């Protein structure tokens, strides 16, 4: 039985109860909307200059007074959007939401920073914070409903976060790992085809970074391998896994995962050989000799050292002898 409707209902009740019992009055400011104000402190955080308003936000943030910091920062951005102080103010808005645990909203506010103010000196830090937020969702953090109620996980939304990081700063410090994490999110969905695309994109785009390229190539091979294990054995995915791992071993021979890649390739080839052997037996049983010979020969090509290869050689010799002896 699904429990999320019950959780949703209880969370809404708690939220309403909190609002109703809040002692802080609602104050409306023309052009700014409604805000909560502490009794006796209405408007005391407001300033008439952008520089001073930002300073209020910074001081409040340092004191972990996120309510005041958020109001002051948002007012700076709203009243003085073209000032030199707006970029840092928008950054503080994101910091406040992140500190409150509303990571999804924080990510969106940080995105405004990098899109509206790409020359901000905090650009790399903002991307780093977005990356860490996306990591928390990849690890299983719940997304919120109505901005308050943690209710569900979503690898689609998580992958989108990483994609925005890569798109905004493709050659930033965190972009290579963000591109790889897109693949990780898709793997959690068991969408291995999309995972492979993400890993291959990382290997291609960051081929000048050996550590990234090696990791992306290996993970692409693993995604192919997992695809091959799904439901019925997928020969095409197995072939793609072998090809990718072969590239990995050739390009990165000193990587500590080479032995693991070689072991997987051996297992895949053995499985491919077994599959061809079973098909050959099927054709032979139905007296379709030429078809059986084709697949017994394929066993030898796929894995000449396997146990199926020895049996295939015997069957090939016997079938050829039978064909030669036949008067037809």
Query: What pLDDT digit, counting tens, does each position of 259-301 carry?
Result: 999 999 998 888 877 777 888 888 878 888 888 888 888 778 7
Asked which of 55-64, 89-98, 165-174, 277-286 is least confident by mean pLDDT, the reply is 277-286
Long-range residue pairs from 118-123, CB within 8 A, at least 24 positions apart, any chain: 120/87, 120/88, 120/91, 122/87, 122/88, 122/91, 123/169, 123/172
Residue 327 pLDDT class (50, 70, 90 cuts)? low
pLDDT for residue 105: 96
Between 99 and 41, whose confidence is greater?
99
Between 102 and 230, whose confidence is greater?
102
pLDDT for residue 33: 46
Residue 250 pLDDT class (50, 70, 90 cuts)? very high
Asked which of 98-112, 139-153, 204-218, 266-280 is least confident by mean pLDDT, the reply is 266-280
Inform me whether the pLDDT recorded for 109 exceeds 80: yes
Render pLDDT for 144-192 as a digit per residue (tens, 0 to 9). 988 778 889 999 999 999 999 999 999 999 999 999 999 999 999 999 9
Domain boundaries defined on the chain: 273-328
Residue 149 phi, psi dihedral angles, 5° rounding: -105, 110
Inform me whether the pLDDT recorded for 111 exceeds 50: yes
Query: What whole-number distance in Å separates Cα of residue 108 and Cα of residue 104?
Result: 7
pLDDT for residue 326: 66
Do residues 291 and 283 touch, judged by C-beta distance below 8 A?
Answer: yes
| Mean of per-residue pLDDT scores for the chain | 87
pLDDT for residue 271: 80
Measured from the Cβ of residue 287, the count of other Cβ atoms closer than 10 Å reads 9
pLDDT for residue 307: 80
Query: What whole-number distance in Å separates Cα of residue 50 and Cα of residue 85?
Result: 6
Inform me whether the pLDDT recorded for 203 exceeds 90: yes
């Amino acid at each position: 039985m699904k429990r999320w409707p019950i959780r949703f209902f209880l969370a809404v009740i708690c939220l309403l109860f909190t609002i109703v019992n809040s002692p802080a009055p609602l104050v409306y400011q023309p052009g700014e909307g409604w805000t909560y104000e502490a009794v006796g402190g209405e408007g005391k955080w407001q300033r008439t200059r952008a520089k001073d308003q930002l300073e209020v936000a910074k001081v409040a943030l340092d004191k972990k007074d996120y309510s005041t910091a958020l109001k002051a920062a948002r007012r700076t951005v709203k009243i003085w959007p073209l000032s030199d102080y707006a970029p840092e103010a928008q950054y503080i808005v994101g910091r406040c939401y992140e500190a409150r645990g509303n990571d999804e909203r924080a990510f969106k506010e940080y995105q405004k920073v990098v899109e509206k103010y790409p020359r901000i000196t905090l650009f790399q830090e903002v991307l780093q914070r977005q990356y860490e937020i996306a990591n928390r969702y990849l690890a299983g953090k719940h997304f919120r409903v109505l901005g308050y109620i943690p209710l569900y996980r979503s690898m689609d939304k998580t992958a989108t976060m990483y994609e925005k990081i890569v798109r905004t700063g493709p050659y930033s410090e965190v972009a290579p790992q963000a591109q790889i994490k897109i693949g990780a999110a898709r793997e959690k969905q068991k969408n291995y085809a999309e995972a492979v695309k993400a890993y291959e994109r990382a290997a291609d785009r960051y081929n000048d970074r050996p550590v990234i390229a090696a990791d992306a190539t290996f993970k692409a091979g693993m995604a192919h391998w997992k695809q091959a294990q799904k439901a019925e054995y997928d020969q095409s995915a197995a072939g793609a896994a072998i090809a990718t791992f072969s590239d990995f071993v050739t390009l990165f021979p000193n990587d500590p995962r080479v032995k693991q890649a070689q072991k997987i390739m051996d297992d895949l080839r053995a499985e491919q050989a077994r599959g061809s052997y079973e098909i050959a037996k099927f054709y032979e049983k139905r007296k379709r000799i030429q078809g059986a010979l084709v697949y017994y020969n394929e066993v030898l090509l796929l894995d000449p050292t396997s146990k199926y290869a020895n049996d295939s050689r015997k069957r090939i010799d016997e079938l050829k002898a039978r064909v030669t002896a036949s008067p037809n």
